[in-house]
C-alpha cells in the first residue's frame, strides 16, 4: 500500500498548497458588497475554503490513522456543489437580465424553503412569506429572459422548488467539462454519501468502510482530494478573474499548480 499512500499524500499536499493561496485571497476580498455578484462570490468562496480546511483535517496522515473515505466524498460533493453555485451566480458570462433572474430565483427558493422549514420545526404560519413570495414572482414574470423561456419551463420554475434555472450538467458544460463524465461522477459520489447499495455491498471484498487502511480506502481518499483540489483551484482562478487586484500576487502561482496538475 506504500505506493498508493505516497500518491495520496502528494495529492493532499497539493490541496494544502492551493488552500494556502486561497485563504489569503479570501481574507483580502472578504466583505466586498458593492454588488450581489461579488458579495455572493466572497461568501461562497469562503465556504469553499472552510470545506477544504475540513478535508485537510479529516484526511489521514499515516497508514495507521483512521481511514474513512465516505466522509471525504461527502465534503468533496459539498465543495463541487458550492463551486457550481459560485460559477452559476458570479462567474458565468451572462446578460444582466439573466443575472437578475438568477438572483430572483435564489430569493424565491430561499423564501419558500425558510417558510417550509419554520412550519415543520416551529409550526409557524406558512402564509407569513406569501407577500414576499408574490412580489418576487411578479418581478420574475416581468423579467425579459423569463418571458423568452418556453411556457412549460416557466411553469416549472415559478414553483420555486429549485434555485437554479439551468441544471448542474449544463453548468459543467459551461465550465468546459464533459456532461456525461460529470453525471457518472456525481452518481458515484451520491451513492457513497447516501449509503445506497453501491456504497456498502462490496465492503468486505474491497476492505472498505472499516476505519482502517486498504488499497481501496487510500485510492478513494486520493480521488476525493484530487477532485476537491481541481474544483477548488478553479474557484481560486475565478476569484482572480472577478477581483483583478488579486492577479499580480496569485494568478501565476495558481497557474503553476494547474500545470503541475496537468503534468501529474
- On whether residue 188 sits in a domain, the answer given is yes
Compute the mean pLDDT over every residue in the chain, rounded to the nearest whole number.
Answer: 91
Q: Which of 56-65, 189-198, 217-226 has the lowest mean pLDDT?
A: 189-198
Number of domains in the chain: 1
Structure pTM?
Answer: 0.91
Q: Hunting for cell 476569484 — which residue is that?
A: 239
Q: Which of 2-6, 134-138, 209-213, 214-218 has the lowest mean pLDDT?
A: 209-213
How many other CB atoms are there within 10 angstroms of residue 171's CB atom?
Answer: 19
- On whether residue 55 sits in a domain, the answer given is yes
- On whether residue 23 sits in a domain, the answer given is yes
**206 pLDDT tier (thresholds 50, 70, 90):** low
The DSSP code sequence of 224-260 is HHHHHHHHHHHHHHHHHHH-GGGHHHHHHHHHHHHHH
- On whether residue 78 sits in a domain, the answer given is yes
Dig out the grid coordinates for 202 from the structure. 462490496
- On whether residue 160 sits in a domain, the answer given is no
- On whether residue 10 sits in a domain, the answer given is yes
- On whether residue 185 sits in a domain, the answer given is yes
Q: Which residue range(s) make up the domain with 239?
A: 2-95+169-263
Give the span between the Cα atoms of 145 and 104, in whole angstroms: 12
Under 8 Å between Cβ of 5 and 220: no
Q: What is the dihedral of CA 231, 236, 240, 241, to 10 degrees?
A: 10
- On whether residue 72 sits in a domain, the answer given is yes
Amino acid at each position: 500500500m506504500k505506493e498508493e499512500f505516497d500518491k495520496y499524500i502528494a495529492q493532499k499536499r497539493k490541496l494544502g498548497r492551493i488552500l494556502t493561496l486561497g485563504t489569503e485571497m479570501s481574507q483580502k476580498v472578504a466583505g466586498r458588497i458593492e454588488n450581489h455578484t461579488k458579495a455572493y462570490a466572497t461568501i461562497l468562496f469562503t465556504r469553499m475554503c472552510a470545506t477544504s480546511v475540513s478535508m485537510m483535517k479529516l484526511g489521514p496522515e499515516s497508514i495507521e490513522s483512521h481511514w474513512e473515505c465516505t466522509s471525504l466524498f461527502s465534503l468533496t460533493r459539498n465543495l463541487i456543489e458550492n463551486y457550481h453555485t459560485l460559477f452559476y451566480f458570479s462567474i458565468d458570462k451572462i446578460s444582466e437580465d439573466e443575472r437578475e433572474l438568477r438572483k430572483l430565483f435564489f430569493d424565491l427558493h430561499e423564501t419558500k424553503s425558510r417558510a417550509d422549514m419554520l412550519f415543520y420545526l416551529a409550526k409557524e404560519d406558512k402564509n407569513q412569506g406569501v407577500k414576499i413570495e408574490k412580489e418576487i414572482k411578479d418581478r420574475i414574470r416581468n423579467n425579459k429572459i423569463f418571458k423568452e423561456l418556453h411556457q412549460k419551463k416557466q411553469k416549472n420554475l415559478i414553483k420555486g422548488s429549485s434555485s437554479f434555472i439551468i441544471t448542474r450538467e449544463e453548468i459543467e458544460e459551461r465550465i468546459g467539462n464533459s456532461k456525461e463524465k460529470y453525471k457518472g461522477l456525481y452518481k458515484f459520489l451520491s451513492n457513497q454519501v447516501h449509503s445506497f447499495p453501491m456504497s456498502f455491498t462490496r465492503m468486505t471484498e474491497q476492505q472498505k468502510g472499516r476505519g482502517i487502511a486498504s488499497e481501496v480506502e487510500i485510492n478513494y481518499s486520493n480521488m476525493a482530494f484530487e477532485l476537491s483540489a481541481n474544483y477548488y483551484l478553479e474557484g481560486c482562478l475565478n476569484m482572480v478573474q472577478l477581483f483583478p487586484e488579486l492577479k499580480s500576487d496569485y494568478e501565476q502561482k495558481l497557474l503553476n499548480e494547474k500545470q503541475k496538475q496537468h503534468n501529474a
